[in-house]
Amino acid sequence: MTVEPRALHAPPNAAALIESLRALGYHLPDAIADLVDNCVTAGARSVSVEYNADRGTGWVAVVDDGRGMTEDQLHRAMHLGVDGPLAARPRGDLGRFGLGLKTASFSQARRLTVLTRTDAGTTAARTWDLGFVAERGDWYVLDSLDDEALRIAEQLGMASPGTMVLWRDLDRCGHGSQLTDGMARVRDHLAAVFGRFLRDGRLRLAVGGQRVRGWDPFLTAHPATQDLGSALVEGGLSTAGVTPYVLPHPSRLTNVETLAATGASGWNSHQGFYVYRNNRLLTLGGWLGLAGLRRTPQCQLARIAVEVTSDDDHYWQVDIRKARVSPPPVLRDRLREIAVLTRTRSEQVFRHRGTSVVPSSRRDSGALTFVWQQRSRRGQIGYQINRDHPVVAAALAAQEKAAVEVALRLVEEALPVSLIATEVSAAPDRAAQAPLDGAGQDEVAALFRAAVAALPHEPHSRQAVVAALRSTEPFNRFPEALDRALDAEGAAGAH
C-alpha cells in the first residue's frame, strides 16, 4: 500500500538566513550599483550617494528623485524574493531576483531604512534591523522612522517625491579613510556601469557631492579607434548584439585620453568583453572564460561590446550581484571567433604603433612620426631609432654626425628586447604604456624646449620642423605643455 507523503512546513531560520545572505560576495561598488538600478527603474533622473564616515555614527544613503512608492508598494519591496527571476518585467527594468535592495544593503550594514514619497504626497518608511530579527527569530520589519533617520533625511533635503535608502550600523564597508577610499571606487564603478545613461543625459549621478561622468570604454569619439562593425549573434533562443572595437595605440593619445581609456583597473585588466544588459554594464572586460583566451599586453586594446536584454538573463546566467555572466554554449564559438579577430587587430596596432591598421577614412590628416621602428634581421625582431624623427635628424645634421650615429647604434644594439618582453609579460600593468607615461606638464615642456634648442636656427626651417615636432612621438600627447613652451620661447626671443 502506497502512503501519501505528508507536506511538512520548513521555514528558514530568519536570523541565520539573513546572515548567510550577507556573504553573497558583494563589494561596496557592486552594492551601491544595485541600489542605483532600483533608482533608474523608478524613473529617477538624479541620484546622489551621500555618506558620513564617522566611527560609530557613520551612514551611507542613496537618494533619488524617482516616482517613489506607496505604503503597500514599499512593504512588498522590503520582502525578500519579491518578483523573482521568472517574473515578467517591464522593458528597461534593471531588476533580476527581487533581492538586490536587501542583499546589497545587508552585505554592508546591519540596519536598512527606506523612506519614500510619491507625487500624491504619501510618505512611507520601513526598517530592517538585523539585531531585531535575531531577537524575534522571525521576519519582522519595522514600520516607523526613528529620529536619526528623520534627521538624516532632512539633512539630505528629502522634501520632494523620491526615495532614500539609508544604511547604518556599518560593519562591512568601514569608516573614516576606509569608507572614503571605498566611495572613490564607487564613483569609478558607477561611471562605468551607468556610463551610457550618464553620457546621453538620462541620468545625473553624484557621489559625496562630486558629479560622476560617464565612462566610454571604447573611446568611440577618437578618430583612431577602430569600429570593426556590429553583428547579431544568434543561437537557439538566445541572441546578442556584438560590436568589437580596437582602441588607438597609447602613443596616439593625450594624457587626458590615456587616463580616460585606462579605467579603474588599468589597460590590461580592461581588455575583453563588455556585456550590457538593458544598457547597464555587467562586465568590465575579461574574456568570459572562452577557450584559449587570456589577458596579454598585446591584446589590451581589444574591447568588445555585447548587448543583451533582461529576457536573456537565464541564458547568460546573470548572477544576483549582476556582476558576473557566462555566455550560452550555443554562442561561445561565434563569440570566440570575434574575440580572436579583435585580438589580432590589437596585436597589429602594437606591431605598427597604430600607423598601418587604422582605416584610411579614419586616419588623422597628419601622420605621426615615431622614435622607434621595428626591424627584422636574420629572422629576429629588433628596434632601431628613426633617423627621420626631427630631433634625431637635427642631431645628425650637426658637425658631430659621426659621433651621434655611433651613439644611436650603441643604444639600438644594447636595447634589452628579451628582458623587456619578459618583464612586460610578468607584470603588464607596471609597464609604461607610452613615452613620457606619467610625466608632468612642466617636465614635458622642458624636454620640448631642449629639443627645439637643437633645431636649425634659420626661421623658416625652424618653424617647419617645430610644426612637425608637435605631431611626433612623444610630444603629440602633450599639446598644452608644448603651447606653454613655445609661448615662453617667443617671450624670451622678444627680449
Which pLDDT value is given to residue 489? 59
Q: List the end-to-end C-alpha distance of the chain, in Å, as a whole number.
A: 113
Name beta bridge partners: 231: 242
Compute the distance between CA of residue 441 and CA of residue 443 in angstroms, rounded to an integer: 5
Q: Assess whether pLDDT exceeds 50 at residue 170.
A: yes
Which pLDDT value is given to residue 359? 39
Higher-pLDDT residue of 90, 346: 346
pLDDT (average), residues 69-85: 82
Q: Assess whether pLDDT exceeds 70 at residue 361.
A: no
Strand 280-281 relative to strand 272-277, pairing: antiparallel
Angstrom CA distances, 232 to 238, 243, 273, 306, stand at 10, 9, 15, 10
Contact in structure between 409 and 468 (CB atoms under 8 Å): no
Helix 28-41 and helix 176-193, axial crossing angle in degrees, nearest 10: 50
Among the ranges given (96-105, 132-141, 276-285, 326-335), the one the predictor scored with the smallest mean pLDDT: 96-105
Contact in structure between 452 and 485 (CB atoms under 8 Å): yes
Which of the 8 DSSP states describes residue 108? T
Q: In what order do the strands lie in the sheet with 46-52?
A: 123-129, 111-117, 162-168, 59-64, 46-52, 204-207, 210-211
Instruction: Assign 220 a pLDDT band (cuts: 50, 70, 90).
Output: very high
Cell of 196: 551610457
Among the ranges given (100-104, 221-225, 421-425, 441-445), the one the predictor scored with the smallest mean pLDDT: 421-425
